[in-house]
Chains A and B, each alone.
Chain A
Amino acid sequence: MDIPPGLRYTKEHEWVRAEGDLGTVGITDYAQDQLGDVVFLSLPEPGKQLEQMAVFGEIESVKAVSELYSPVSGEVVEANVALADKPELVNDSPYDEGWLIRVRLADAAELDGLLSGEQYREYLEQEAE
């Protein structure tokens, strides 16, 4: 299971990569593997204000639909429009081309409350038991 260091993670299996005051958000390799083939995403429009751990969209795989939770608060500045035609990017490249949204961070301190890669891995191992 790929869990890159340097990102922050949630127990809902999202990740956030902070660069300056922007945070890029996606779902983890574990999440895409559990979901299976992704076929459709419902993502927010730029300008939408997100609250930390509130639902910001939905992800549909062939199997089922799941809700997406924002790891951070802030304003959506961009959604990954490439996913409209190629939702499978979430499966093929969950940490890179398959990113979901970019958010202008309202409170960078929120990042400290999220899991590190190491903590997320431990969490997955606990859940597996």
Chain B
Amino acid sequence: MADFDVVVIGSGPGGYVAAIRASQLGMKTAIVERELLGGICLNWGCIPTKALLKSGETYEKLGHLKDYGLSADNRAFDFDGVVQRSRGVSKQLNQGVAFLMKKHKVEVIEGAARLEKGSPAPKVVVALNKGGERAVQAKHVILATGARARTLPQIGMEPDGERVWTYREALVPKSAPKSLVVIGSGAIGIEFASFFRALGSEVTVIEALDRILPAEDEEVSIAARKAFEKRGLKFRIGAKVNKLSKSGQGVTLDVESGGKSEQLKADVCIVAIGIVANTDGIGLEALGVKVERGNVVTGAHNETNVPGLYAIGDCAGAPWLAHKASHEGIHCIEHIAGQPGMGGLKAPIPGCTYSQPQIASVGLTEAQAKTAGHELKVGRFPFRVNGKAIASGETEGFVKTIFDAKTGALLGAHMIGAEVTEMIQGFALAITLEATEAELMATVFPHPTMSEAMHEASLDAYGRVLHI
């Protein structure tokens, strides 16, 4: 006899959303969490970083008040205050998740879960935080254990909490380092680099590939690098860190790029070289769960090879994004409930980087679209000729659209500029609804908004741009 219909392991944005959806569909649901409800996302990831970045952005803006005909004396920041605000934001949302679990009658089991053989799904044995053990049998078990920062201890790339940080230590520093090296120019690395640079740190970003933000469209990477360099960020591209050594004074990195070696010294180093799924120590091997390169292998409905066991979010592989985890969680639960779920929709997953300027994209990059064999129509529109952007004094960046020349399908959209992370969902919606250039052109975009650049970029792809 099963204790629950669904037990979710991990309460991040994949797990807790899956639990709510399960409860909505009338399933008796429990969720296991070993640390804080809300997982990395709202305790140690997406949310607290956004809080820090808002402080950094506001501080940076204060430095440009004169551009707006304003002035204020004694621009300053209280670093501890910045960090405490960020922690407060996390706490608020953490309590919000606790409220949601209660509201939806999801039982929260605090402790670390491991799986044992069971029927019809694996049995979940929880080492309770308060002591003791509790075994629960569910009809369906959903792994939503998330991921953690990738480290390379063999060359010293291991956090010590003092000189070498991962995102976790970087969120609660005692002070802003005078000098900082960030290893990795993905979204996480770039966001911390952006934040600390805004507060005055000397920041160097090391990227192993040939451009920063390598997942983004190449034009965006190039524009981003220029914008960041304008703000004083330094980059080492195509560079490899051979060794990271710590001393009382700081860190020293042996960096090799283009056949040349150099030593970089800094007070602090942030390791942002990717993440690793949390799939060890929970009994997956004994159950014979298929795991590849650390990620649980799943099918179209997030089912694993073990009956009754599913995996969603980071532990099931890239892209490592909260909204991907939530989407999978809902789809998985609806599948379990025998509902069509997302139907035939295969929604593309947008990606956002909250640097200054912001970067957002959805769908294929131009290079990916070409590789996939599409003939393309590509449109671009710069914010420097957008009325709202000019009025706001935020004219950096552009919008780029990529259409299939044969069908008019929107294949991808890429943006860099102020608040573009708030606009990308327009293009995400267009792709999900299978819009063509005709619908994008026929849609009325309000004036004056930055979003008009989305319209213009769509028009530009077909040679119909108006304001250039």
Pair from one complex? no
Query: Interface residues, chain A, CB within 8 Å of chain B?
Result: none
